[in-house]
Structures are given as structure tokens and as C-alpha cells.
Structure 1
Amino acid sequence: MSVTIGRRAALAFGAAALAAPALGQGIWPQGPIRFIGIFPPGGGTDILSRIWCQKMAELTGEQFVVENRSGSAGNIGTEAIARSAPDGRTIGLASVAPLAIGPTLYRRLPFDVTKDFTYVSGLWQLPNFLTINNDVPAHTVPELIALVKANPGKYSYASSGSGTTVHLSGAMFAAMAGLDMVHVPYRGGAPAHIDLVAGRVHMMFDNIPQGLGLVREGRLRGLAVTGAKRSPFAPEYPAMAEFLPGFEIDSWGGVMGPAGLAASVVQRLSQLTRQALAAPELIARFQENGATTWFTTAEEFTSFRARNEAAFAPIIRASGAQVD
């Protein structure tokens, strides 16, 4: 039995067939997504990034592959995001270090924070946590200040790289308390903690997740958090502001892509991120790592970054932490 299709029907059928691939191409994601992590594996930001990527993979049925491109306080990985094609296949971690601290800390950066990125959403916020080696003879912040003052140049503080909130927290501590300490930068939080536990450095203001875990394992001693108030995840530890009024530094992470990311991709990525950050299991895992979920619109995230840069600028200048 033959069926005759009229000219209009044939044209309509053909148009629909042509439109189908275009509709499919408009759905993001299709295929694996590369997520550039800008710090080494094992650190707090890496752990949180992987939790989010895992949830995004569950929501989309696609792979979110974390590629760690560490070094230079996150600048190497951030540059890699900026230089990637704006096709939606590559996104990455937006971090306070290169995006809000870096523009003031460094005289030259290999990217422009206002022009080279498409900011999508915040993911988390968390304070830093002052930990010290167990052999350091201090059990409170005032005791640590007295110890370091009595031994100028003897004590060192580690960081996950120059230009991170970890570095800046230590620099602010030294400046506000009038201390002579040595800064020892590493390529990330994980290698810094290895030397801190071993006693090759004496203290560190790391993001709270990994530091808190090591303290609870008995491998380090915790003294204080850097938020304006005590952390709900570790309320037994005082805020640095209780001893040094005005001391406040928080870390944050978000998701971004290169400049020119299609509006449809940004919208879909934002929608999925909102879903991911609302999932009870993700919220619980973030809390286990000392972080709170933090969803923003693309516009809110863009303006927040600019405000945060402006807020950090006088702190960096006052600390004397600027580098070439």
C-alpha cells in the first residue's frame, strides 16, 4: 500500500527533520564536560569541586571530568579556563584567590578578570582555619602571638600558594599582631599539610575542610577560624576577631567558563547548579567539609566578584603582601 504525501506535508516534514538536530545541539551538556580545578587534588577546594561535579553528573547523565591544573595560587588553571574554547565543553573553578585577590596582589596576571570569563554561579563559602603543628607550645591564639613575638623570624606559616586567602590570612595575622614570621608557599593545601604535620612548617590558615579533619584525627592542633563569627561546623573554636578585632577573611568558590559562553549554556548550567546545590545529600557533604552552599545568578556572581576585589584591595596593600 502506497501513501502519497502532499507538497505542504512534505515540506513540513523536511523542516521538522532539519530542526531536530538543531534542537539537540541546544541541549547542554551533550558528552563529557571538562572541569578545570585550579588547585592540586586532595585539598579542600578540590574535594568540594568533586562533590559538585558528581552531583552534576547524576543530574545530567554525562561525565564531569575534573582536570587539576595547579600552580601560581590558581593562576595557571584560571588562565587555562580563559584560553579554552567557549563551546561549553570546558568550565572550571572560579576562586577568590586569582579573581578577587590576584588583581591587587600581582602587578601582572595572564588574564583579565573583567573580560576573559563568563561567571555563572557561586558554589560554596567557608572560613579559613588556623592550625598549628602539635609540637608548637601554644594552645590559644594569645599564647601563639606571645610565642612568635618572643622568637622573631623563627616561626613559619604555610600557604597553598602566594595570593590565596590562606596566604593572606597569615600575612594579615602577622601584620595585625606585629609578628615576624616566614611565609612558605606550596602548590596547594595538600602538600602544605604534609609538611605541617611533619613539623617542617609551624602553622597554616587553610580552608576549614582539610584542616578540621586533621585536627579531629589528632594530627594537628586547631586554634581559631577566620570568619567574623565562630563556624557552625566547629563552634568550639573562636573567631580570630575575638583576639584581633576586624580580622575577617572568608574563602569562596564558584563555576565559570571562558568569555563568550553561550547564554543558553549559562542558563542551563545555572539551572543545574541550583538543583545540585539544593540536593540534601550535597548540602550534607558540603557541611561535612565545613562549607555552606552558595547559589547565585550569573549577574549576582559577576557583581560579587567585583565587590570582593574592592574589599580585599586595602587589606592586601596594608599587609604588604604585594608581589611582582
Structure 2
Amino acid sequence: MSRSKGPARRMPRRPFLLGGAVLAMAAARPVRAARYPEQTVRYINLFPPGAATDLLSRAYCGTVSALAGQQFVVENRSGAGGTVGQAAIAQAPPDGYTLGLGSIASLAIAPSIYPSLPYDPARDFTYVAGIWQVPNLLFCNPRLPVRSLQEMVVLVKANPGKYLYGSGGSGTSPHLTMEWLKQVARLEMAHVPYRGGAPMLLDLIAGRVHFAFDNLASLLAPVQQGQIRPLAITSKERSPLLPEVPTTNSVYPQLEITSWGGLVGPARIPPPIVGRLAELTHAALQDAGLHRVFREQGATPWWLPPEDFATFQQQQQRFFAGLVAQVGAIAN
């Protein structure tokens, strides 16, 4: 006799419905990504209006808006070295409609100089694309008898402790660049931190401090007016804006720190939307008008796709953690 097989087992209805919902969402995502963006996108800039990053961000957002057919609107959320705005990006919904600047200050340096941050660079962000790089310029008061990095090193070594260098704040990229130069060249100079690059520049022009690094974008006018003397630039190659100024790596090959900015969003933005944003950014960085604005601000277009940008951020964070530990930098 054959054994009865009994009634067939039914699949539980709730898991089946949940599975169907997941499949429907997965099927719908490419459609939504193809239409993205369907409304205005908010772009959070980490620094005040009128600063170089503000001008660069507005030029980028204007170009992307034209390509996307929707407005990318800049909102300035400054404070605490960019960490206030960076936290606002991390806390936004991961729908692709709140994005913003990811910078060297807030994502690579801040984790090592602030005792606690309201975000984790590795956990709380989607890395979309690199956008620009801006080198630091080494400069001095023009009354000093130096016209090159080599001559500066000779002068400072001959007068240990006599000369001062300024920065726009402890733990900033320019401050850490000078500390690295001090280590590489074995220089003795005291640091005078200021609350921003503008007051530091005024004191250097007046002769109260003697040397400094700062972002190229903020120094073009003082250089052209003869108020400061450029000595070297931290980019890999000479800047077309100051072609007569040699690079720091031509004297010290390891000395190369370049500020950078890229597009980030909160964690868990759907990959199709990330891909669409990366495509828009790549197209924007080919635009001649955007190139012109970047050049005027001393910036270079810097394309990095999502995965490479995330890897780069991790490398930069490790590098600055080591440098901060060596120099004992803290946020002021």
C-alpha cells in the first residue's frame, strides 16, 4: 500500500508578501534612479558664504543643475572646522536629496584633533565622487631676504627660534603642512595660530609673523599686489596661476599636501542613485565654464569615482592621524 502524502504544506503568507515587496522595491529602484533627481537637491557647504569652498561649490552645483534638469541648491552650515555641516549631511535621509561637501578638514583631519565627533567618517557617509583639489602655498613677508624654499631653510636654520609662522588655526591643513616641513627640514619655528586665514595674512603682511602656508585660492590677490612673496607650492606640478613658483616636492619629495573636496551624502544612499550622481559629477568636471571658475580659485578638477574616493578618504585619515600625533595638534 502506498502511504498517503497528506495535504501539501502552504507557504506562510506574510514572508511571501514581504519577499514580493522587496522584489518590487528592487525593480522600482532603477526606474527611480533613471528619473533622479525629480526635485530640488540640497547641497550643504561646510564653510561660510564667500569662502573659496563656497564659490567652488556654487560653480559645481550650477553646472550639475544644468545637466540634471533640477536645482542643486547650496546651503551654508559652517562651524567647528566644517564638522557642523558634515554632521548635518550624516544625519540626513539617505534618499539622494541632501548631499554636500566632504573635505580634508572634516573627514581626514578632524577625527584626530577633536576628542569626539558627531559622525564616523567610515560609517556615516556615502562617498560619491572627488570634485576639486587646492594646493597650499608657502609664502613670506616680502621684506625677508628669501626668494625660495631653500633660502628659507638656510635662514631659519641659521636663526633657530627667531622666526614665527602663522596659520588659520591649529590642526588645519596649512598648519600641519608647515609642521611637516619643520620635521623634514629640521627647522625651529614657533607657531602662532589665528582664528582664520584672513587675520593671519594681515599680521604676516605687517611683519608680526614671518612665514605661512595657506590655500592658494585666498592668496592670489596678495601675491599679485606684492604684499606677500610666494616660495613654493604643495601640488605635484606647478600651478598655471603661478608658473614661476616651484613645488615643495622638487626640494623635499615627500612634502606634498593638497586640500580636497568631494561630494558625499548620508550612508546607505541606493547604489543606482550614487551611480547617477557620479555620472553627473563626471560630466560636470568636463565643463569649460566650471574649469574657468576652478582656475580662478586656484583649484584643479579632481575626478574620483565612489569606491576610489572612499579608499582615498581612509588613506588620508590614516596619514593625518600619524602627523597629528607627531606634532601634538589640537583644535583651537
Same fold (TM over 0.5): yes
**Partner secondary structure for residue 223 of structure 2:** helix
Distance 1:252 1:268 in 2: 22
Match of 2:308 among 272, 281, 300: 300
5+ residue gaps in structure 2? 1-27
Q: Which amino acid aligns with 2:290?
A: L
Match of 2:195 in 1: 186
Match of 1:35 in 2: 43
Following TM superposition, by how much is the alpha carbon of 1:48 offset from its aligned partner in structure 2, in angstroms?
Answer: 1.8
Match of 1:208 among 193, 216, 230: 216
Give yes or no for the alignment of 1:262 onto 2:270.
Answer: yes
Distance 1:59 1:121 in 2: 16
Match of 2:254 in 1: 246
Following TM superposition, by how much is the alpha carbon of 1:50 offset from its aligned partner in structure 2, in angstroms?
Answer: 1.9
Distance 2:205 2:38 in 1: 43
Give yes or no for the alignment of 1:276 onto 2:276.
Answer: no
Distance 1:195 1:32 in 2: 43
Distance 1:217 1:235 in 2: 17
CA spacing shift, 1:24–1:118, aligned 2, 3 Å = closer
Match of 2:137 in 1: 129
5+ residue gaps in structure 1? 1-19
Following TM superposition, by how much is the alpha carbon of 1:169 offset from its aligned partner in structure 2, in angstroms?
Answer: 0.9
Distance 2:295 2:304 in 1: 18
* C-alpha contact 1:73 1:163 (8 A) present in aligned 2: no
Distance 2:308 2:139 in 1: 33
String of CA shifts for 1:25-54, please: whole Å, max 9, x gaps: 962223332211112233333322222112
Match of 1:68 among 56, 59, 76: 76
TM-align CA RMSD: 3.0
**Partner secondary structure for residue 186 of structure 1:** coil
Give yes or no for the alignment of 1:319 onto 2:327.
Answer: yes
Match of 1:54 among 50, 62, 71: 62
CA spacing shift, 1:46–1:205, aligned 2, 3 Å = farther
CA spacing shift, 1:323–1:207, aligned 2, 3 Å = closer
CA spacing shift, 1:211–1:294, aligned 2, 3 Å = same
* C-alpha contact 1:148 1:181 (8 A) present in aligned 2: no
CA spacing shift, 1:156–1:273, aligned 2, 3 Å = same
Match of 1:152 among 161, 166, 178: 161
String of CA shifts for 1:106-156, please: whole Å, max 9, x gaps: 443221010011110000123211123445554333443455552626523
State, as a whole percentage, how many aligned pairs show the same letter: 42
* C-alpha contact 2:59 2:293 (8 A) present in aligned 1: yes
Match of 2:171 among 153, 159, 163: 163
* C-alpha contact 1:174 1:181 (8 A) present in aligned 2: no
* C-alpha contact 2:164 2:192 (8 A) present in aligned 1: no
**Partner secondary structure for residue 217 of structure 2:** helix
CA spacing shift, 1:135–1:42, aligned 2, 3 Å = farther
Match of 1:83 in 2: 91
Q: Which amino acid aligns with 2:180?
A: M
Distance 1:54 1:89 in 2: 16
Give yes or no for the alignment of 1:139 onto 2:147.
Answer: yes
* C-alpha contact 1:44 1:210 (8 A) present in aligned 2: yes
How many residues were matched structurally? 303
Q: Which amino acid aligns with 2:192?
A: H
Distance 1:290 1:24 in 2: 37
Following TM superposition, by how much is the alpha carbon of 1:290 offset from its aligned partner in structure 2, in angstroms?
Answer: 2.7
Q: Which amino acid aligns with 2:167?
A: A
Following TM superposition, by how much is the alpha carbon of 1:299 offset from its aligned partner in structure 2, in angstroms?
Answer: 1.2
Give yes or no for the alignment of 1:93 onto 2:105.
Answer: no
CA spacing shift, 1:108–1:205, aligned 2, 3 Å = same
Distance 1:158 1:50 in 2: 26
Tell which structure's C-alpha radius of gyration is larger.
2
Indicate the larger mover: 200-209 or 51-60.
Answer: 200-209
* C-alpha contact 1:96 1:164 (8 A) present in aligned 2: no
TM-score after normalising by structure 1: 0.81
* C-alpha contact 1:153 1:182 (8 A) present in aligned 2: no
Distance 1:219 1:198 in 2: 9
Following TM superposition, by how much is the alpha carbon of 1:79 offset from its aligned partner in structure 2, in angstroms?
Answer: 1.5
